[in-house]
Amino acid sequence: MDDLDEIHLVTNARFAAALRDWAPEDVTVHDDGTTSNEDRLGAIGDIAFAIEHGGLEGLDLLIVAGDNLIGYSLADFVHFWRTKGGSALAVHEVAERSLLRNYGVVELDADDRVVGLEEKPTDPKGDLAATASYLYRGDHLALLPRYFEGGNPPDAPGNFTAWLHTREPVFGYRAPGEWHDVGDLGQLLAADNLLRERAGLPTRSEYSLS
């Protein structure tokens, strides 16, 4: 994508060496030094870590969570963001209500501006799930220290967007095509079988590394 200048990937100490062995030359891998759920920085904490250690202060950033399998165009997402002028997140319509309880559920107004975002709601107020793909303006990311100082949670990336949209304009890009949150075992199996079918391989009833 022509708009992309650098690629930064944040991981924990357990997987850093393997990812550095894998990474192409244009990908910078950051080891956040954590080793367990007890000391992890959280998704928002890792964004702040990448900004500090990658020298990304003041820059506009496209942020995509590693447990996303997306079928929409990031270039189209960037174009949408440029037409709106604020920050943005990609949303996807999810018909199954039980799945919506696992995601951030987004409410948009007629101009696609975010007017509500709730992480893992027991009673979802809509059918638009945040796909953990974000485009943030640099001056909006500069508010991260203020977010943390307020005692807000460092995990679940939608929590920062939920906080931000009440202070600055954030818009929702209605992403077409496929999307799977492969952090969920059921969705991981569905995504695995989708890719296996495309490769001409037999599907399977449970996910495994074999």
Over pLDDT 90: what percentage of the chain? Answer: 66
Q: Look at residue 13 in the predicted model and tell me its pLDDT.
A: 94
Q: What is the CATH number for 148?
A: 3.90.550.10
Q: Is the pLDDT of residue 1 over 60?
A: no
Count up the domains in the chain and report the number.
Answer: 1
Does any domain span residue 72? yes
Does any domain span residue 20? no
The residue-averaged pLDDT of 173-198 equals 86
Q: Look at residue 164 in the predicted model and tell me its pLDDT.
A: 97
pTM: 0.89
The average confidence (pLDDT) of the chain is 91
- Asked whether the beta carbons of 100 and 125 are under 8 A apart, the reply is no
DSSP 137-196: -HHHHTTHHHHHHTT--SSSTHHHHHHHTTTS-EEEEE--S-EEETTSHHHHHHHHHHHH
How far, rounded to the nearest angstrom, does the alpha carbon of residue 148 sit from its chain's CA centroid? 19
Q: Look at residue 209 in the predicted model and tell me its pLDDT.
A: 65
Expressed as residue numbers, the domain containing 105 is: 58-198
Q: Look at residue 63 in the predicted model and tell me its pLDDT.
A: 95
Q: Give 169's contacts (C-beta < 8 A, 6+ positions apart).
A: 84, 85, 86, 87, 113
User: In angstroms, rounded to a whole number, what is the distance separating the alpha carbons of residues 31 and 24?
Assistant: 16
Q: Look at residue 67 in the predicted model and tell me its pLDDT.
A: 85
Does any domain span residue 11? no
